[in-house]
Structure 1
């Protein structure tokens, strides 16, 4: 089938989108294509996710029961853990994790495993798109050679390959998947036409770039920009504190400048699946070219140090109340990595919990979005721990409360009334009257 016939098939909504990996990226993408009338098949090794989609059960907060029920009842949507059905999809979008290993190097096993599975079932005319964040060169140096070697097919002739980085921002009501422009790079003009046409069916705008390596670099650049600027305001927070200056007041005032300034907010560290991880994909790749990435690595050091700064502030706060951290009861408020979501990946709250625990404190947490800590690779020792209840009786039991994530539906006035000592890493108490020495900023 020629490219023009494939383009026509897409335009007629007869082109099936297969999405591999049904997490915080894959599931919203599945919904977005379905919402625009495209037939979709979701694939995941997790039977629970597959069953939830087919039965209409929500497992990600911002895709609630109504949307999941629509997917379950639709003839255009199905989910499966049977990867032999990959042949039924016209496009295969890879939305799998790309974490770092213990040495802060790219862990590509999920991408490699998924590519191996695709190669078993790849057929002519299929389009393969990697969406996972990765180092520049992954698509042409890893994905395409694997697919060509295992199948004997040739990219650009027998099948097509593209790269389009995910740009999800969980919990952001202003920018869901369909409203965020999609950067697309591909292996050849035909692949680029097909990939852009696929995304044009569901996304507000596509932004084609010259090749896959450029598209891979775009994603890293976006998150490196954020990482460095967050590190800057985190460093300013520490410096200004010693000068008796409130960094939040400074940033609020600076934001009134209508040009040349973009506000970033300090906090207890970095969390989520992008900013703490993505910059190190470039530092790793840059070493192969004998290039240094000093800015990126320095930002990483500053942001990684923030939980230690918060704990040190909490120790001083406890000392001011004639208490030692050893034996004290500590409550972490907010386990999710950002406000108003249930995503706790790479959350700095875990680092705070580990630090307090290592110092002999009794650690608990409260988070209405994360009622129980699930099993994970990084935090298995906390698995099964449940969020405490929100009540005066509960809050009064803790020697210190550390606000790590500023969920908007937490009543901070109540918290101020109920708690004798609060360490605020998010400026959550700025509008709450409190007695002198009651709230410490960190």
Structure 2
């Protein structure tokens, strides 16, 4: 936790601070997905009573029945919280007034024009405004452009007459979840906190300080918003760099993974990033566009960020081109009519999350060129319906058997889940197109492997 801060001057803030320190403050969490649910459980473990809010009544029923519905979140943690009467889920947003602090953990996607879509943030803010009462703390956690908390959320909350810093308190604290990471979870990841005024900062710092191992207070919500964007833009730019190096070194006959592994032995001045078939998830493919969009308001160029986005967006097409070249070179045939097995449709290893998955774009590009595609993913038995890739919804994962594998012209590794038998695949595949360097790690016969 950060260093103790002075007691707030505001009497309402002092009362809420006392309740937070006593763990008697009731916390509301809006959005019970990959961000909101682990946060709610961390709050429960810290001793706070928590009400979780979600618009999906089926999800509410699942959670109240003791099931997480998310692979990497243990259902036992929910059952314990339920048994201790520290957690309940509801779709009744009129109950937001029962919470002393309300944390907003809703999606912030892009529109089809690649502009920020704050529909869910605005909707949650209006729902809070309907029951907002003196003494409440409201914290936005959703990743967004710098200024959202003060320029969008604050006016909505103040529309009914309450005033931030006087009768209620407003802060921003960005989520830092990494689903499937065995080393870091909500409780041991430092929490950035920025408040609209000293009282709000003190309250948010106390709440998160009681919940996670460390807090990092910053000077304003806008700084906190910029921190989260900077973290993900850093990753986006460096992934774009190694993706570009992959293409350059590939043209020279040099294995970029060998280069990165050797460079990573330097104990200073280098941080290894891994190339891939394109970006996925709800952060890295989206967050840079939030800053680029906001920067246009100030006539500030974001050439570096936009170039990284162009490189990363181009990766699926590069992979498909490499696959087509390999088929032509080895079997004297094109993609039209070729049978391709895509390994992995989740956006990252060992999770079931398919948001913004590059695999969907790979499949569409293959199908556009006449290929017959199927996929295998142990964590995604059926492709869910998405706005951008509705035509893929309902496709089901095929089982991996020697005959199944041998029946495809090529196997394309898109996501490298740990619980896939790559040795079995390597023994029976006709051609492997590897975007994750998995076959090198398994000692497979490299004569049938093309890295892309």
TM-score (norm 2): 0.96
Partner of 1:295 in structure 2?
Answer: 304
Partner of 1:219 in structure 2?
Answer: 228
Matched, 1:157 2:166: yes
Partner of 2:242 in structure 1?
Answer: 233
Partner of 1:7 in structure 2?
Answer: 17
Give the superposition deviation at 1:71.
Answer: 3.2
Asked whether the 8 Å contact 1:56–1:71 carries over to 2, the reply is no
2:271 is paired with a residue of what secondary structure?
coil
Asked whether the 8 Å contact 1:333–1:405 carries over to 2, the reply is yes
Residue correspondence of structure 1 range 413-428 to structure 2 within 5 A: 413-428=423-438
Matched, 1:122 2:132: yes
Deviation sequence 1:336-373 (CA, Å, 0-9, x none): 11111111100100010110011111111110011111
Partner of 2:379 in structure 1?
Answer: 369
Matched, 1:83 2:76: no
In structure 2, do the counterparts of structure 1 residues 276 and 190 end up closer, same or farther at CA, with 3 Å as the change threshold?
A: same
Asked whether the 8 Å contact 1:53–1:71 carries over to 2, the reply is no
Cα distance in 2 for residues equivalent to 1:182 and 1:175: 13
Cα distance in 2 for residues equivalent to 1:58 and 1:139: 30
Cα distance in 2 for residues equivalent to 1:376 and 1:347: 11
Partner of 1:356 in structure 2?
Answer: 366
Which residue among 176, 181, 185 is the counterpart of 2:185? 176
Which residue among 227, 247, 268 is the counterpart of 2:256? 247
Partner of 1:68 in structure 2?
Answer: 78
1:156 is paired with a residue of what secondary structure?
coil
Matched, 1:333 2:343: yes
1:330 is paired with a residue of what secondary structure?
strand
1:2 is paired with a residue of what secondary structure?
helix
Matched, 1:263 2:295: no
Deviation sequence 1:399-418 (CA, Å, 0-9, x none): 11100011112111111012
Partner of 1:33 in structure 2?
Answer: 43
Which residue among 391, 396, 418 is the counterpart of 2:401? 391
Cα distance in 2 for residues equivalent to 1:37 and 1:374: 36
Matched, 1:273 2:273: no
Cα distance in 1 for residues equivalent to 2:276 and 2:316: 9
In structure 2, do the counterparts of structure 1 residues 434 and 176 end up closer, same or farther at CA, with 3 Å as the change threshold?
A: closer
Matched positions, count: 441
Deviation sequence 1:182-226 (CA, Å, 0-9, x none): 000010000000001010111111100000110000000000000
**Structure 1 unaligned runs (5+)?**
none
Deviation sequence 1:241-283 (CA, Å, 0-9, x none): 0111110010000000000000000000000000000001000
Partner of 2:102 in structure 1?
Answer: 92
Partner of 1:197 in structure 2?
Answer: 206
**Structure 2 unaligned runs (5+)?**
1-10
346-355 or 62-71, larger mean C-alpha shift: 62-71
TM-score (norm 1): 0.98
Asked whether the 8 Å contact 2:426–2:445 carries over to 1, the reply is no
In structure 2, do the counterparts of structure 1 residues 127 and 418 end up closer, same or farther at CA, with 3 Å as the change threshold?
A: same
Asked whether the 8 Å contact 1:54–1:71 carries over to 2, the reply is no
Cα distance in 2 for residues equivalent to 1:419 and 1:68: 42
Partner of 2:440 in structure 1?
Answer: 430
Give the superposition deviation at 1:436.
Answer: 5.3
290-299 or 385-394, larger mean C-alpha shift: 385-394
Cα distance in 2 for residues equivalent to 1:117 and 1:4: 25
Asked whether the 8 Å contact 2:102–2:138 carries over to 1, the reply is yes
2:416 is paired with a residue of what secondary structure?
coil
Give the root-mean-square deviation of aligned CA atoms.
Answer: 1.0
